[in-house]
Amino acid sequence: MPSAKVRRPKSRRALLREVTLRNPMLALALVLSVVATGGAESGEISGGVVKVGVLTDMSGPYADNVGAGSILAAQMAAEDFGGTVNGARIEIVSADHQNKADVGAALARRWYDQDGVDTITEVVSSGVALAVQAISREKRRVFLATGPGTPDLTGKNCSPVGVHWAYDNYALGNVVAGAAVRRGLKNWFFLTADYSFGHALEEQAARVVKANGGTVKGSVRHPLGTADFSSYLLQAQGSGAEVIGLANAGTDFINAEKQADEFGIKAGGQKLAALLVNLPDIHALGLDKAQGLLLADSFYWDRDDATRAWSKRFMARFDGRAPGSLQAAVYGAVTHYLKAVRAAGTDEAEAVMAQMRQMPINDFYTRDAHLRRDGRVVRDMYLLQVKSPAESRYPWDYNRVVETVPGDRAFRPEAEGGCPLVTP
């Protein structure tokens, strides 16, 4: 016999909307009840708990960049908030979506329908994120996308309860490809992960290359989780392009970079441009192979005193490993969400989103950012360069900040995204 679904208790505001249409006198009684009890309290929190679901890659190519570190970041956010909000306990749950849209969608539905999850965060895979955003919109729950790159989350697939927190492929293309072309590297060939994330990353980088007077000689696409890149790298090498743009991430990027050395691609004069690199990727490669690489990111742990202070707390609980940007982003997104729940006095998605848009975003990760109508958090992006082994002074001292790119220059203008929520 199938188990019965657990229905979330309706908040006072939801009850008031429903009852007003049926019985105005009962609606008045509800209003008086809210006034008598002070309004915003744990009674406005469905189920008496604020439950945050970290849906992440625990076993696949992105596990080092998100995974257990993202779960820890969410736990730290809850702890730093005091463990409660408006009298309701904060609970963190987690699961592995295996980078499969059907698995991620099934987990999201179960969390929302049966387990009382209020918000889902992380979801590094773009395909999974698009599915989870659609379900979150249907179920009227806030979705905090910190890991995925596809700009469609704030474009044609935007949602009134969707937030795209850290980076996106449009910004990466602007920052990395633009910098490379300005340095004279104008002839490109792309080696691309064959799913929505890789396609969007290649598309955005190619747009920037062409807009700055460069040319694209072609591309080749590989499956997610590829171990042998030989045939793809031979095509890229044979193109004669000055730059081979790696439109992939995680272990795919690491394997492609390592095998490119085996084929003598860099020794032959061709450059590799990594369009998405996270700190754990550089650690896995080693500075001897990664040195000189230009990359874009929304966070670097050693950038200033505030980033170092939080990162050292994280490292003390994570076997000495420094946080990558996607892990730190979970802390920032969950913290902002909890602040909005506190200010709204409820976990009702529309009320929380209104507060998230109203409040400026300021913490160790983010400076003076804001949440747009399309769900995009507009923040500074950084052009980073990997140090040489001789330049690195201590463990995880891998990058230097070359340039800070303001958010309004890095990200796609709101009017150009095609989000139906945006009106002229």
pLDDT tens digits for range 44-78: 899 999 999 999 999 999 999 999 999 999 999 99
Structural domain tally of the chain? 2
Q: Note whether 262 and 323 are same-domain residues.
A: no
Mean pLDDT confidence for 74-84: 98
Asked whether residue 8 is domain-assigned, the answer is no
328 part of a folded domain:
yes
Report the length, in residues, of the chain. Answer: 424
State the average pLDDT for the chain. Answer: 90
Same domain, 174 and 157: no
Residue 328 predicted with pLDDT over 70: yes
pLDDT at 197 over 90: no
Percentage of residues of the chain with pLDDT beyond 70: 90
Residue 205 has pLDDT above 90, yes or no: yes
Predicted local confidence at residue 281, as pLDDT: 94
| pLDDT higher than threshold 60 for residue 296 | yes
Rounded CA-CA distance 325/99 in Å is: 19
Asked if 60 and 209 sit in the same domain, the reply is: no
Asked if 134 and 206 sit in the same domain, the reply is no
Instruction: Judge if 215 and 269 occupy the same domain.
Output: yes
Q: Is residue 17 part of a domain?
A: no
DSSP strand pairing (215-222 vs 243-247): unpaired
Q: Are residues 293 and 324 in the same domain?
A: no
Q: Among 243, 262, 297, which residue terminates a domain? A: 297
Beta-carbon neighbour count of residue 187 at 10 Å?
16
Which residue range is the domain that position 341 belongs to? 47-167+302-375
Answer yes or no: is pLDDT of 346 > 80. Answer: yes
Is there a single domain that holds both residue 327 and residue 279?
no
- Among the candidates 297, 328, 353, a domain finishes at 297
Residue 128 scores a pLDDT above 80: yes
Report whether pLDDT(349) > 80. Answer: yes
As beta bridge partners, residue 386 has: 399
Same domain, yes or no: 309 and 325: yes
Note whether residue 382 is domain-resident: no
Identify the band that residue 22 occupies on the pLDDT scale cut at 50, 70 and 90. low
pLDDT reported for residue 21: 44
Q: pLDDT band at residue 200, thresholds of 50, 70 and 90?
A: confident
Q: Which of 16-25, 123-132, 199-208, 277-286 has the lowest mean pLDDT?
A: 16-25
pTM here is 0.86
> Do residues 155 and 177 share a domain?
no
Whether residue 391 contacts residue 371, with contact meaning beta carbons closer than 8 Å, is answered with no
- pLDDT exceeds cutoff 60 at 33: no
Local structure of 219: helix, strand or coil: strand
Q: Report the Cα 278 to chain-centroid distance in Å.
A: 12
Asked if pLDDT for residue 12 goes beyond 90, the answer is no
Q: What is the mean pLDDT of residues 375-396?
A: 96
pLDDT band at 23 (very low <50, low <70, confident <90, very high): low
Q: Tokens 């990200």 belong to which residue?
A: 411
In a domain, 357, yes or no: yes
Predicted local confidence at residue 44, as pLDDT: 86
Residue where one domain finishes, among candidates 375, 391, 419: 375
Mean pLDDT, residues 109-133 taken together: 97
pLDDT band of 13, cuts 50, 70, 90:
very low
Considering the domain boundaries, does residue 320 fall inside one? Answer: yes
CATH of the domain at 275: 3.40.50.2300
Mean pLDDT lowest among 27-36, 111-120, 147-156, 238-247: 27-36
176 contacts 295 by C-beta, under 8 angstroms: yes
Same domain flag for 157 and 176: no
pLDDT digits (tens, 9 = 90+) for 135-163: 999 999 999 999 999 999 999 999 999 99
Residues 220 and 117 occupy one common structural domain = no
| Domain-located, residue 364 | yes
- Amino acid 78: pLDDT: 98
Helix axes of 305-316 and 325-344: crossing angle, nearest 10 degrees: 100
Q: Is the pLDDT of residue 366 over 70?
A: yes
Strands (E), 232-293: 243-247, 271-274
Specify if 387 maps to a domain: no
Report which of 119, 172, 168 is spatially closest to residue 377, judged by C-alpha positions: 168
Same domain flag for 343 and 240: no
CA–CA separation, 269 and 280 (whole Å): 27
Q: What is the pLDDT of residue 24?
A: 46
When pLDDT is cut at 50, 70 and 90, the band that residue 34 belongs to is: very low
